[in-house]
Structure 1
Amino acid sequence: MTDATVTIREQEAQFGDYFALLKPRVMSLVVFTALVGLIVAPVPVHPFVGFCAILFIAVGAGASGALNMWWDADIDAVMRRTAKRPVPSGKVTPDEALAIGVALSGLSVVMLALATNLMAAALLAFTIFFYAVIYTMWLKRWTPQNIVIGGAAGAFPPMIGWVAATGSISVEAALMFALIFMWTPPHFWALALFMRSDYDDAGVPMLTVTHGRRVTRTHILAYTVLLVPVAVGLGLSGVGGPVTLVAALALNAWFLKGAIAIWRRDEATAEADAYAVEKRFFRFSLSYLFLHFGALVADAALRGFGVI
Structure 2
Amino acid sequence: MITERSVAGRPPGDTGDAAAEARRDPVAILRAYLALCKPQIVELLLVTTVPTMMVAAGGWPDLRTLAVVLIGGAMAGGAASALNCYIDRDIDQVMRRTKRRPLPANTVTPRSVLIFGLTMAVISVALMAVFTNWLATAMTAGAIFYYDVVYTLWLKRRTPANTFWGGICGSAPVVIGWAAVTGTVSPLGWALFAVVFFWQMPHFYALAIKYKDDYARAGVPMLPVVRSIRRVNVEIVLFTVLTVAASLVAWPLGLGWIYGAAAIVTGVAFLGEALLLVRRTSTGQPAKPMRLFHWSITYLTILFIAVAVDALI
Q: Which of the numbers 147, 171, 181 marks the counterpart of 1:165?
A: 181
Pair 1:257-2:272 in alignment: yes
Q: 1:1-308 counterparts in 2 under 5 A?
A: 4-5=3-4, 7=8, 9=15, 10-11=19-20, 12=23, 14-42=29-57, 45-238=61-254, 240-266=255-281, 269-270=284-285, 273=286, 275-276=287-288, 278-302=289-313
Equivalent residues of 2:179, 2:185 under 8 A apart: yes
In structure 2, what residue type is equivalent to 1:294?
I
1:220-262 per-residue CA deviation (whole Å, 9 max, x = no partner) reads 0111122221011112221x21111111111111111122222
Does the 8 Å contact 1:63/1:105 carry over to 2? yes
CA distance in 2, matches of 1:259, 1:268: 14
Separation (CA, whole Å) in 2 of partners of 1:81 and 1:117: 39
Distance 1:266 1:279 in 2: 13
CA contact (8 A) 1:191 1:279 kept: yes
- TM-score, normalised to structure 1, is 0.92
Structure 1: how far apart are the matches of 2:240 and 2:167?
A: 15
Residue 4 of structure 1: how far off its partner (Å): 3.5
* TM superposition shift of 1:115: 1.1
Whether the 8 Å contact between 1:37 and 1:160 is mirrored in structure 2 is no
Helix, strand or coil for the counterpart of 2:159?
Answer: coil
The Cα offsets for residues 110-136 of structure 1, whole Å up to 9 and x where unpaired, read as 111101112111100000011111111
The answer to whether the Cα contact below 8 Å between 2:2 and 2:91 also exists between their aligned partners in 1 is no
Q: Tell me, in whole angstroms, the C-alpha distance in 1 between the residues paired with 2:61 and 2:271.
A: 37
Contact 2:229-2:281 at 8 Å conserved across structures = no
Partner SS state of residue 144, structure 1: coil
Conserved 8 A contact 2:194-2:246: yes
Query: Are the equivalent residues in 1 in contact too, given 2:196–2:243 (CA < 8 A)?
Result: no
Mapped partners of 1:42, 1:48: distance in 2: 13
Residue 47 of structure 1 and its aligned partner are, at CA, apart by 1.0
> What is the RMSD computed on CA atoms of the aligned residues?
1.6
* Percent of aligned pairs sharing the same letter: 37
Query: For residues 3 and 81 of structure 1, what CA distance do their matches in structure 2 show?
Result: 17
Give the Cα–Cα distance (whole angstroms) in 2 for the partners of residues 176 and 4 of structure 1.
Answer: 42
TM-score normalised per structure 2: 0.90
CA distance in 2, matches of 1:284, 1:181: 16
Contact map agreement 1:117 1:164 (CA 8 A) in 2:
yes
Aligned counterparts of 1:36 and 1:227: Cα–Cα separation in 2 = 18
State the shift of 1:150 in Å: 0.5
Q: Deviations over 1:123-176 (max 9, x none)?
A: 000000111111111110000010011011110101111101111111111011
3-state DSSP of counterpart to 1:14: helix
- Between 1:159-168 and 1:37-46, the stretch displaced more is 37-46
> Which range moved further: 43-52 or 130-139?
43-52
**Offset at residue 265 of structure 1 (A):** 3.0
Task: Could you list the structure 1 runs, at least 4 aligned residues long, displaced by more than 4 angstroms after superposition.
Answer: none
Q: CA deviation at 1:49?
A: 2.8
How far apart, in 2, do the equivalents of 1:252 and 1:204 lie?
A: 31
| Alpha-carbon contact 2:65-2:181 (below 8 Å) kept | no
User: Which whole-Å CA distance do the structure 2 matches of 1:219 and 1:246 have between them?
Assistant: 26
Equivalences, count? 296
Give ranges in structure 1 of 5+ residues lacking alignment.
303-308
Letter in 1 for 2:32: D
- Is the 8 Å Cα contact of residues 120 and 164 (structure 1) preserved in structure 2? yes
State the distance in 1 between where 2:243 and 2:232 align: 16
Within 2, Cα distance between the matches of 1:268 and 1:254? 21
SS of residue in 2 equivalent to 1:156? helix
Write the distance in 2 (CA, Å) between the matches of 1:153 and 1:145: 14
Q: Is the 8 A contact 1:207 1:216 kept in 2?
A: yes
Q: Which runs of 5+ in 2 are unaligned?
A: none
